Structure 1
Amino acid sequence: MRNIRKVELSDRLGNAAEAKAALLRAYREAQEAAEPNREARQQERLALAEARERRRALREQERHEAQARHEAHLHQQETALAAAALAARDARETAEDSRVARVLADEATRKAERDRRYASRKARQGQRS
């Protein structure tokens, strides 16, 4: 059966306004019903945000501490490498000094042996003359 009643524009506009008003009333009633819980939820959200911020600060602090430990470790390694390089250089210098001392001692020994032979030869020549 067809809708016998003819709906006018003013009827449609009135119905729309009533529906809009009903939605607005329902929204306001829901807000008023939720009012006691709203503050509790707000406090809960604030507590969660503060906890999140504390965790973030703790992570940041741990990251800085880890970075400081890493830099200290690198500094120790660099110091150890520098000390090892210095020790190696000192060992090379000591070995070079030792080698030079041995060469000088060998040369002095050869010179003393040559001088002894020369003196011995001169002494034999002096006995024959």
Structure 2
Amino acid sequence: MRDLKGSAFDERLAAAAEAKAALLAKLKPKATVTAPPGASRAAVKEAELKAVRQARADEKEAARLAAADAHAEVQAGVAAAEEAALAEKRGARKERKQLTKAEAQQKRDARYAARKAR
């Protein structure tokens, strides 16, 4: 800072004007930096939300498909078990029928032999 003692009036006026100009320069608004034209914050946020929503929808769809596949596998297993039980039941019935048929044939043969024997 300058020594104000012993200075002339004009020098003091110049110093005051210089200080005032420096203060005004300090308070003067600076040029703002404008963002390059591009996506606004709202557009970026909307895009992010859209991506998140799409990801969630994809996950939900994948989970739904997995559940449907699991349900279809269970249904196929149940159908296969029912088919196997039905086939076993049919096989047992055929076997009983064959035995009954064989027994009936033996009885007929025995009657025929008995008639021939008389």
Identity within the alignment, %? 9
More relative contact order, 1 or 2 (CA 8 Å, 6+ apart): 2
Q: Which residue of 1 aligns with 2:65?
A: 76
Counterpart residue type for residue 116 of structure 2: Q
Question: Would you tell me which structure has more helix in proportion to its own residues?
Answer: 1
Deviations 1:71-101 (A, max 9, x none): 1011111111111111111111111111100
Deviations 1:23-75 (A, max 9, x none): 9x92x5533x326x2xx44xx37x79x73332222111111100100110111
Q: Which residue of 2 aligns with 1:52?
A: 41
Indicate yes or no: 2:94 matched with 1:105.
yes
SS at match of 2:40: helix
Pairs aligned (count): 98
**Structure 1, unaligned runs of 5 or more:** 1-21
**Structure 2, unaligned runs of 5 or more:** 1-18
Which of 99, 115, 121 is residue 104 of structure 2 equivalent to?
Answer: 115
Indicate yes or no: 2:82 matched with 1:86.
no
TM-score in terms of structure 2 length: 0.70
Q: Which residue of 2 aligns with 1:4?
A: none
TM-score in terms of structure 1 length: 0.65
